[in-house]
Amino acid sequence: MAGWLCFFLLGASLAGLLLPGASVFLPRDQAHSVLQRVRRANSFLEEVKKGNLERECLEEACSYEEAREVFEDTEKTNEFWNIYKDGDQCESLPCLNQGTCKDGLGEYTCTCLEGFEGKNCELPTRELCSLDNGGCDQFCREERSAVLCSCASGYDLGDDGKSCISAEPFPCGKLTRGRGRRSAAHGSGEAPEAGVPEQEQYYRGDLGPTESSLHLLGLNGTEPSPKEDESHLVRIVGGRDCEDGECPWQALLVNEENEGFCGGTILSEFCVLTAAHCLLQAKRFTVRVGDRNTEKEEGNEMAHEVEVTVKHSRFVKDTYDFDIAVLRLKTPIKFRRNVAPACLPEKDWAEATLLTQKTGVVSGFGRTHERGRLSSTLKMLEVPYVDRNTCKLSSSFTITSNMFCAGYDAQPEDACQGDSGGPHVTRFRDTYFITGIVSWGEGCARKGKYGVYTKVTNFLKWIDKSMKAGLGAGARGSRAPSEAPPCPSQPLPLPPLSTGALSRPPSLP
């Protein structure tokens, strides 16, 4: 029975296949609805369709242009293409010290964190001069991609090749606050030098140019009337008293009437730096050091006669260009508290490092405001360096390459009449270097006007030659350096300064 039933069902199935229109295959439309196949090449308008990464580059090999169509961005295309062509070079994490890897064709690039360098960021960064001064205490220069440190005169390079060490009791550029002679420490049992007070007080204040017998620009070539405005010469306005040992390199030029008329900077035991125009203001003068109050004797002051004066031969009295001079003394300066030299820098290092500092310091006995009386106490003022273009635009007079500006645009602080020739020093770490000479200005602390200073870095070779020679082109004196007497043991006795005001400079028209 079961066999007949199976035979019947098989026959019915075969008969159904023989009906009209019956087929073992599905119609095309029905078949496509079940299984769809994306057509590749030569599909209709394929080239105008947006690129597809899988279609273009994964199912088949593609060109760079086809990959570019997908990403529509060169940087993203390059990132994909570098890996697509030769694998990911960054997969092995070649960059050390947390460096970032970027893949390339057959190569990779590491971007290193600060402090590391090398192909794989494997090396500590070399301490070149642009990074923390190469680790040098003072001068830094680069030779063959290596740092070479050196020191100012009077210092020796330490065993580490970076520190500067001096065995001198009063090395250049160091404040002398709280020191007795020979650096006797308080409580050491060593008595301070006789005649030197244990604590002296210096004062800070505004600088100004000193009185000059010549018109600043010398337009008429004649001596101006004392009634003329004197605002073009520089003095200090708005500063403070120099405290004990803060301005030990300050010198004061005193004329035959025993009146101070210009400032200066102690460079060595025999040499003082000043402005060339100061030499036009007195035929004979002495140099005083250690002063902090011109109306009071404190036992630390010393006066020295001048052996020769070396004025720069190219000094122009009409413009104050090359406004620089060196004074050679007959007797050596005895360094002590409040009497010490400023350091002379190296030119390249100074221009790259010192002149890019934010501020410098000026000092002197000049007027405390434009038409005020001259200060009897030594003043100091911190002044910012001024951009050269701003400097030139601020003045109606020529700012040459031998000059720079410092001061404030609107703040009532500036150098003022009475301090021409005085020091502009710049601190680096704990050492002060001479960077300028107080030269001239238009008024004192006027809005939009700045103090103008001789740029010492332009004259370092000239200064060195003048200090060694003692007498050179443009020098005034009857004795040649080779004929200079041996160092006398005693300086001049010190007469008290006149209580009258410092000589008053003429003014710009």
Asked if 491 and 300 count as a contact pair (C-beta separation under 8 A), the reply is no
Active-site residue flag, 323: yes
Kindly write down the DSSP assignment for every residue of 353-419, as one continuous string: IITTSSEEEEEES-BSSTTSPBPSB-EEEEEEB--HHHHHHH-SS---TTEEEES-SSSS-B--SS-
User: Of the residues 231, 232, 268, 277, which is catalytic?
Assistant: 277
Strand, helix or coil for residue 267: coil
Asked if 416 and 237 count as a contact pair (C-beta separation under 8 A), the reply is yes
User: CB 482: neighbour CB atoms within 10 A?
Assistant: 8
> Residue 121: what residue type?
C
Calpha distance 340→245 (Å, rounded) = 9
What is the crossing angle of helices 74-86 and 64-71, to 10°? Answer: 140
Active-site residue flag, 86: no
Asked if 503 and 255 count as a contact pair (C-beta separation under 8 A), the reply is yes
3-state helix, strand, coil in the chain (%, to 5): 20, 25, 55
Of 164, 118, 469, 221, which Cα lies nearest the Cα of 326? 469
Token pair in block for residue 58: 């994964």
Q: What angle do CA 418, 375, 371 make, to 5 degrees?
A: 65
Helix (H) or strand (E) segment spanning residue 123: strand 123-124
Calpha distance 470→461 (Å, rounded) = 14
Token pair in block for residue 387: 């951009």
Task: Give the pairing type, strands 139-143 and 146-150.
Answer: antiparallel
Strands (E), 259-352: 260-266, 271-274, 285-289, 302-311, 325-329
Strand, helix or coil for residue 86: helix
Helix (H) or strand (E) segment spanning residue 74: helix 74-86
Token pair in block for residue 90: 């960054």
Strands (E), 126-197: 139-143, 146-150, 156-157, 164-165
Active-site residue flag, 376: no
**How many residues are given for the chain?**
509
Token pair in block for residue 235: 């003095």
User: Of the residues 323, 394, 439, 466, which is catalytic?
Assistant: 323
User: Of the residues 231, 420, 466, 503, which is catalytic?
Assistant: 420
Could you give the residue numbers annotated as active site?
A: 277, 323, 420
